[in-house]
C-alpha cells in the first residue's frame, strides 16, 4: 500500500511537471503570434502614396491662357498636353506679373524657352 | 530630398515660415509643384521673388508655383492697371460682355473670387461684375 501511494505520488508529480511545461510553451506561442500581428500592423500603417498634382486639361488651359495674354499682344501662347508654350517677347516687369497668373491655371509646366524677356 | 526640392529649398522654407496654409509640395516628371494659400499678397510676392532668385526669369520651367492670396469678401482693392481703365465683365472670362469700367487707380470692393484669375467686384459707383484679379491690389 505504501508502495502504491509512493507510485501515485510520483505519477502526480510527473503529470504536474508535464502540464506546466506545456502551458509554458503555449504562452510562448501566443507571445510569438502577437509579435507577428504587430509586424503586420506596422506594414499597413506605412506612408501612403501622395496624390498626384492637379493638372488642368488643354481646353481649360487654352481659355485661361487666352484671358491671361489678352493684354500682352507680343506674346504668343499655345497649349499642348497641358504644357503652356510661350514665344515672342515681353518686358521683365510684365513677365513677373504674367507668370503667377499662368501658374495658377494648373499647367503641367510653363515652357518659356522661346520667349525673349527684355 | 530630390534635387528639385533641394534647388527650391529656400522657397519651400520661406513658404512654411511665412504662414502659407494647405502647403503641398509634389514632384512629377521632373517638375516640382508647390501649392498653397498665402496669408497676404505680400507673402505671395515674396515667394515669387525667392523663386526668381533660385531660377532667374523662371526659365527652367521645372516649377509650377501656385500659391495664391485670396482676398476675403469685403476687401478693398486698388485698380492697378498700367494706365487704362479695367474692364468689368458679365462673367469670369474675356469672352464675356463688358458691362462697365473701373478707373485706373480707383478703389473697388471685392465681393468674391470664383477662381485665382477672376474676382467679382463692386465699384463705388455701384457697378458690379467680374474683373481680372491680376489688376487688383488689396489694400
Show the domain range for A27: 1-46
How far apart CA B42 and CA A24 sit, in angstroms, is 69
Chain B neighbours among A 9-28 (CB < 8 Å)? none
Q: Which three cell numbers stand for residue B66?
A: 501656385
Contact call for A52 and B94, based on CB within 8 A:
no
C-alpha cell at A65: 491662357
In a domain, A109, yes or no: yes
- The superfamily CATH assigns to domain B76-138 is SH3 Domains (2.30.30.40)
Copy the grid coordinates of residue A109.
509646366
Alpha-carbon dihedral B34, B35, B36, B39, rounded to 10 degrees: 70
B118: left (phi over 0), alpha (psi -120 to 50) or beta: beta
Nearest Cβ partner for B57 among A54, A95, A103: A95
Q: Which residue of B has its CA nearest to A112?
A: B59
Taking contacts as CB-CB distances below 8 angstroms, the residues of chain A near B65 are 100, 103
For A117, the closest chain B residue by CA position comes to: B57
Same domain membership, residue A111 and residue A62: yes
- CATH code matching the domain that covers B3-68, chosen among 2.30.130.10, 3.30.420.40, 3.30.460.10, 3.60.20.10: 3.30.460.10
Q: What is the 3-state secondary structure (H, E, C) of chain B?
A: CCHHHHHCHHHHHHHHHCCCEEEEEEEECCEEEEEEECCCHHHHHHHHHHHHHHCHHHCCCCEEEEEECCCCCCCEEEECCCCCCEEEECCCCCCCCEEEEECCCCEEEEEECCCCCEEEEEECCCCEEEEEHHHEEEC
Sheet of B136-138, strand order: B98-102, B86-89, B128-132, B118-123, B107-112, B76-79, B136-138
Say what the pLDDT of residue A22 is. Answer: 52
In chain B, where are the structural domains located?
3-68, 76-138
pLDDT tens digits, A99-115: 999 999 999 999 999 99
Does the beta-carbon distance from A96 to B33 stay under 8 Å?
no
**φ, ψ dihedrals at B24, nearest 5°:** -130, 130
Mean pLDDT across B75-94: 94
- How many domains does the structure of chain A reveal? 2
CB A98 within 8 A of CB A68: yes
For residue range B22-77, list pLDDT tens digits in order: 999 999 999 999 999 999 989 999 999 999 999 999 999 999 999 998 788 999 99
CB < 8 Å to B48, chain A: 96, 99-100
- Tell if the CB–CB gap between B26 and A113 is shorter than 8 Å: no
Please indicate if any CB of chain B lies within 8 Å of the CB of A110: yes
**pTM of structure:** 0.77
Q: How much is the pLDDT for B89?
A: 97
State the nearest Cα–Cα gap between B71 and chain A, in angstroms: 15
Amino acid at each position: 500500500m505504501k508502495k502504491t501511494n509512493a507510485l501515485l505520488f510520483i505519477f502526480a508529480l510527473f503529470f504536474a511537471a508535464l502540464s506546466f511545461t506545456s502551458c509554458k510553451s503555449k504562452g510562448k506561442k501566443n507571445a510569438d503570434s502577437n509579435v507577428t500581428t504587430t509586424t503586420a500592423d506596422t506594414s499597413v500603417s506605412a506612408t501612403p502614396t501622395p496624390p498626384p498634382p492637379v493638372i488642368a486639361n488643354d481646353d481649360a488651359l487654352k481659355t485661361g491662357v487666352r484671358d491671361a495674354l489678352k493684354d500682352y499682344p507680343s506674346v504668343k501662347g499655345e497649349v499642348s498636353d497641358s504644357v503652356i508654350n510661350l514665344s515672342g517677347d515681353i518686358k521683365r516687369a510684365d513677365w513677373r506679373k504674367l507668370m503667377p497668373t499662368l501658374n495658377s491655371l494648373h499647367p503641367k509646366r510653363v515652357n518659356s524657352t522661346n520667349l525673349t524677356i527684355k | 530630398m530630390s534635387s528639385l526640392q533641394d534647388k527650391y529649398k529656400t522657397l519651400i522654407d520661406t513658404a512654411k515660415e511665412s504662414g502659407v496654409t494647405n502647403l503641398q509640395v509634389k514632384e512629377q516628371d521632373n517638375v516640382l509643384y508647390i501649392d498653397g494659400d498665402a496669408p497676404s499678397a505680400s507673402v505671395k510676392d515674396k515667394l515669387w521673388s525667392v523663386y526668381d532668385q533660385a531660377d532667374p526669369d523662371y526659365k527652367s520651367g521645372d516649377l509650377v508655383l501656385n500659391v495664391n492670396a485670396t482676398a476675403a469678401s469685403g476687401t478693398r482693392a486698388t485698380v492697378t492697371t498700367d494706365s487704362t481703365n479695367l474692364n468689368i465683365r458679365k462673367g469670369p472670362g474675356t469672352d464675356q460682355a463688358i458691362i462697365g469700367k473701373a478707373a485706373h487707380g480707383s478703389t473697388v470692393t471685392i465681393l468674391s473670387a470664383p477662381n485665382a484669375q477672376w474676382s467679382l467686384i463692386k465699384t463705388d459707383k455701384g457697378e458690379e461684375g467680374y474683373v481680372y484679379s491680376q489688376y487688383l491690389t488689396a489694400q
